Amino acid sequence: MAASLIVRGLSKSFGGFKAVSGVDLQVEPGHVHSLIGPNGAGKTTAFNCISGYFKPDAGDILLDGRSVAGWGSHDLVAAGMARTFQVTKVFGELTVLENVALAVRSKARKNYNMWRAADASPVVKADALHILDRLGLADRAETMADHLAHGEKRVLEIAIAMALKPHMLLLDEPTAGMSGGETERIAILIRSLTDQATVLLVEHDMHIVLGISDTVTVMTQGSVIASGKPADISRNARVQDAYLGAAERAS
């Protein structure tokens, strides 16, 4: 089976600073593939190039075999890619159900009717409730999104992304700012999504990364230094040196 996502020779500079240099990445269907590295490694820039928020200077990005390098985020959503953000983005003044229903309507190209409630359609409402039930938020459907706990907001953001019916889901530090219990919940949830979408994950929590990933790719100073199974990555001397060196520079 062909890879869901292939990145070849990806490069991106800002002025004279080369944030990403010749990055190669291959994400297999139905896998959780984590992209990690110390602060300043370039992983977020690579992630933003892949998801259409930055236009790469060089290289190619293949989504299900189709070149999408330089495509905008809206076009990538239509092609089957969705992402979440490090800083949670939900509509706090809407209910949980309305947030997800808006995404369902967007996927169905029905958001042109601004005068109709997001969850007015029985079909849209049923689809949104099904997603919330699967992600464990059905009992919070009528709660205003602003009233959710931090961990619940992260789950809601994933629910919104899943409502777009992606087959490639990009998650940007989904456990940031969470307690231990919330982190474990998100980890289990991410792993459960792979029957619907392949997952590319940027994450700092190494316990989560090593626990749920099929493959881990490690970046430092804008380049990939290792890629492989979690057990192999955890024993890799170059990876250990990269993280140790970053810790020493920060101290």
Domains in the chain, start-ordered, CATH in brackets? 1-80+168-251 (3.40.50.300), 86-165 (no CATH)
pLDDT, average across residues 146-159: 94
Predicted confidence at residue 115, as pLDDT, reads 38
Angle at 210 between CA 209 and CA 213, to 5 degrees: 70
The two most distant CA atoms of the chain are separated, in Å, by: 59
Residue where the block lists tokens 């800083």: 87
Decide: 155 and 189 in contact? Cβ < 8 Å: yes
Predicted confidence band of residue 242 (pLDDT cuts 50, 70, 90): confident
| Closest residue by Cα to residue 193 from 182, 201, 204 | 201
Predicted confidence at residue 47, as pLDDT, reads 95
pLDDT of 180 strictly over 70: yes
d(CA 130, CA 98): 13
List pLDDT tens digits, range 112-136.
Answer: 454 345 555 788 899 999 999 999 9
DSSP state of 110: -
HSE-up of 161 (CA within 13 Å, CB side)?
30
pLDDT, average across residues 11-39: 96
| Closest residue by Cα to residue 10 from 184, 20, 159, 72 | 20
Predicted confidence at residue 2, as pLDDT, reads 80
Predicted confidence at residue 118, as pLDDT, reads 53
pLDDT of 247 strictly over 90: no
75: tokens are: 């076009």
* pTM of the entire predicted model: 0.90
Predicted confidence at residue 1, as pLDDT, reads 61
List pLDDT tens digits, range 204-234.
Answer: 888 899 999 999 999 999 999 999 999 999 9
Residue type at 229 in one-letter notation: K
Residue 130 phi/psi, 5° resolution?
A: -60, -45
